[in-house]
Amino acid sequence: SLAVAGSMAAVLELIAGSYEQIAFGYRIKTDETEWTAKADFTHHAHTASISAVAASERFVVTGSKDETIQLYDMKKRTEHGALLHHDGSITCLEFYGSSNLLSGAEDGLLCVWSTKKWECLKSIKAHKGHVTSLSIHPSGKLALSVGTDKTLRTWNLINGRSAFIKNIKQNAHIVKWSPDGDKYVAVANDTMSIYNLETASVTGTVTNPKRISSIKFLSNSIVAVAGDDEIVRLCDIETQKWVCEFKAHETRVKAVDSFHMEDYCVVVTASNDGFIKMWKLHLKEELEPPTLLGEVNTTARLTCLAVWKPSSVQQTAEEPAAEATTSEEVARELSKTKRVRISAEEVVLEDESKPKKKKKGGGK
Ligand SMILES: *[C@@H]1O[C@H](CO)[C@@H](O)[C@H](O)[C@H]1NC(C)=O
Ligand SMILES: *[C@@H]1O[C@H](CO)[C@@H](O)[C@H](O)[C@H]1NC(C)=O
């Protein structure tokens, strides 16, 4: 039945992946003081644990140690087949706009998928070793990736080519752009290194008491950090200080995500203890620990999490942009939408990498 006009309930669903191979979807009722989560779907398409999940306006994708990416159509509420291209555990998935998906895996490949026909448009040998994490710039024109070859790589998504390689001291397992796209964070074990895009150099590091499992930018400066314990910590990356912490779960927090309501932020956490929890946080000068809005016991050991909130899906530029092949051109392309610039001094230009075309795989 339709919601009564006047109540501004958001269409919102939380999607979690688990060791038990199952993806769960919970519809959230937000128009009450205590939010409730109602089981909406379970998707058991994988034959090994789920390692990554992402949601676009229309689709939920899950990646697994079984080397497949499974699709779920949120509009038709049905399974939508599998993407069989990688020869290794899927480690990261991210949509850009509603037209493309990027996947990374332990085979070292980054794949660009079209969401229209679910074709693999480009398959890039991105890292020697595994691809561990990727992040798409808010402009949709650049992506970062990290892998087990101690490099941080920048990709031009307009032509699928490697723009720059940066050698880092350790293997990073998480990389993430800030919402404004003027900085990014790379995580190696328990340490976050903050990079400034303009100078391409580290502006600070912050160390968590435990290995970091997941991070989420709540604003351009506040990052929620989940680690191998039950605490979620909030870090101000401008001052490189921990500004707030709260006990979120009984055991390790495996994933953290967030979304914005009208005047507050909702932090969502998923844990090995089986629970998904929603926390209400007011983003103000002096941060106070968030209050619990609602929770659900999935009874599975959760590994990853995504928020499906179709009204807030960012539309990135879909108009064909100019083919930028040099760092200066990439920077110029980016600065058309965002006032950011990439320094060419700190980075190494790579020209060995050419987009490879593979015939294998594709949607079914
Ligand atoms: C990772 O961080 C944890 C917690 O700080 C530490 O005990 C461990 O030795 C670190 N591991 C490596 C490989 O640096
Ligand atoms: C979560 O559900 C499982 C399975 O029904 C149950 O064994 C467990 O006690 C529940 N956890 C809590 C804290 O209620």
What pLDDT is stored for residue 335 in this prediction? 59
What pLDDT is stored for residue 135 in this prediction? 98
What pLDDT is stored for residue 334 in this prediction? 59
250 lines ligand 2 (CB under 6 A): no
Hey, whose CA ends up nearest to atom 13 of ligand 1? 189
What pLDDT is stored for residue 134 in this prediction? 98
173 lines ligand 1 (CB under 6 A): no
CA distances from 316 to 92, 96, 136, 233, 319 (A): 20, 7, 11, 30, 9
Q: What is the DSSP secondary structure assignment for residue 311, as one 8-state letter? A: G
297 lines ligand 2 (CB under 6 A): yes
In CATH terms, the fold of domain 12-351 is Methylamine Dehydrogenase; Chain H (2.130.10)
Residue in 230, 297, 301 to alter for ligand 2 test, most ligand atoms within 8 A of Cβ: 297
Q: How far is the CA of 289 from the centre of ligand 1 (A)?
A: 27
- For the chain of 364 residues, list the mean pLDDT of each consecutive stretch of 10: 43 96 95 89 95 96 98 93 96 92 98 94 95 95 96 90 90 97 97 90 96 98 96 97 97 97 95 97 92 97 95 49 47 49 33 38 40
Ranges of each domain in the chain: 12-351
Ligand 1, residue 190: give the atom nearest the CA: 2
Ligand lying closest to the C-alpha of residue 298: 2
Q: How far is the CA of 271 from the centre of ligand 2 (A)?
A: 13
Ligand 1, residue 210: give the atom nearest the CA: 4
What pLDDT is stored for residue 130 in this prediction? 98
- The DSSP code sequence of 5-68 is TT--PPP-EEEEEETTS-EEEEEEE-SSSS-EEEEEEEE---SS-EEEEEE-SSEEEEEETTS-
Considering the entire predicted model, what is its pTM? 0.85
What pLDDT is stored for residue 274 in this prediction? 97
What pLDDT is stored for residue 114 in this prediction? 95
What pLDDT is stored for residue 319 in this prediction? 40
